[in-house]
Amino acid sequence: MGNSRLTVSLPSASLAEALEDVEAEVLRWDMSGPAPRPEIDLVVVPYIPGSEHLRWLDGVTTRLVQAQYLGYDGVAENLPPGHVYANARGVHETSTAELALALLLASQRGIGAFVRAAGVRTPEPTWYPSLADRRVLVLGQGGVGRAIEERLTPFEVEIVRVARTAREGVHGLAELPQLLPSVEAVVVAVPLTDKSVHLVGAEFLARLPDGAVVVNVARGRVADTAAILREARTGRLRFALDVTDPEPLPVDHELFTLPNVLISPHAGGMSTAMLPRVARLVRRQIELLSAGAEPVNVVLRR
């Protein structure tokens, strides 16, 4: 380590192919077992849920551990001491925002009902709410929240911004109880922290007006699944969930059977945008580390 040629471990053939011209010694390690070397300058973590695989870094010396996720919940608990961890800021925001919009529109306009009816019966034409002139609350003002707002703006909605703490143009979490009764949709894009666990619970849902849509593209545990299920059974609200708790949801879970619930399989970041963006980020980290400079996107030092 520390000599001129960096050692980099990559978890997938596709990433190795995208980075085949980098100035580094490239190893393949998917972190499902021990490290190929006791010292690896840059370890790129596989894109699989959870962070238990980080435990394979125990006893390995690194300069940087680069994730392919934006969210880093669970990382502090699993990353052994001595490592610097960078997240994938800049990779997933646009793709996740696209899915949030797709879920919101599909939910508002009853696309799930049309799809369910396809080939079984001719769906009844019925009135669905438009997004136009509605109030949409974007919960979370990080990169994903901002990307959602940018994409929502042409739909002529009034956007209500909420973040953990209030600032100009942004409401704080403490104001949620007053804001919820006046919005037709909520898009949840907050990180999972001690403060956000079960933020979308029974009390939150009860304050929303009839017919409101709740979209969650954050983490399943930001919402209380039992409270969502209770509310969804009544048919009063609509839900569009890219993330669930547990995840994945068991195939026989009642939420899958309810006509006012759409569920996607944590697919927010999974688009063709991901691989080139991850490759660009890793390339940049290699250049920075090679130059002895500080890496970007560092969110944790253990």
Least distance to ligand 3PY, CB of residue 225, Å: 17
Which residue's CB comes closest to ligand 3PY? 269
Q: Which of 11, 112, 145, 268 binds ligand 3PY (CB under 6 A)?
A: 268
Cβ neighbours for 17, distance < 8 A, ≥ 6 positions apart: none
Select from 100-108, 154-162, 246-254, 264-272 the region that touches ligand 3PY (CB under 6 A).
Answer: 264-272
Q: In the complex with ligand 3PY, which residue's Cβ is closer, 238 or 266?
A: 266
**Long-range own/partner contacts, residues 126-133 (CB < 8 A, 24 or more apart):** 129/184, 129/211, 131/104, 131/105, 131/155, 131/156, 131/157, 131/185, 132/156, 132/157, 133/157, 133/158
97 CA to centre of own chain:
9
Tell me how far, at minimum, the Cβ of 62 lies from ligand 3PY, in Å: 21
Site string for ligand 3PY, 43-72 (x = CB under 6 A): --------------------------xxx-
Alpha helices in 180-224 (DSSP H): 202-207
Which residue, 53 or 207, has its beta carbon nearer to ligand 3PY?
Answer: 53
Q: Is 220 in the site for ligand 3PY (CB under 6 A)?
A: no
User: What's the token pair of residue 86?
Assistant: 């960078």
* Residue with smaller CB distance to ligand 3PY, 99 or 157: 99
d(Cα 80, Cα 89) in Å, to the nearest integer? 22
Contact criterion met (CB below 8 Å) for 216 and 190: no
The tokens describing 138, both together, are 């974007």
Closest separation between CB of residue 284 and ligand 3PY, Å?
18
> Quick one: which of 180, 119, 130, 189 has its CA closest to 157?
130
CB of 90 or CB of 201, closer to ligand 3PY: 90
- d(CA 156, CA 109) in angstroms, rounded, equals 16
d(CA 99, CA 144): 11
Q: Which stretch binds ligand 3PY (CB under 6 A): 16-24, 153-161, 170-178, 266-274?
A: 266-274
Q: What sign does the dihedral 21-23-25-30 (CA atoms) show?
A: negative
Residue selected from 63, 83, 92, 221 as contacting ligand 3PY according to rule CB under 6 A: 92
Of 269, 279, 281, 282, the residue at the interface with ligand 3PY (CB under 6 A) is 269
Q: Which helix (H) or strand (E) holds 215?
A: strand 213-216
* Smallest distance from ligand 3PY to CB 194, Å: 18
Q: C-beta of 182: minimal distance to ligand 3PY in Å?
A: 29
Nearer to ligand 3PY, 56 or 69 (CB): 69
Q: Which residues contact ligand 3PY (rule: CB under 6 A)?
A: 69-71, 88, 92, 96, 266, 268-269
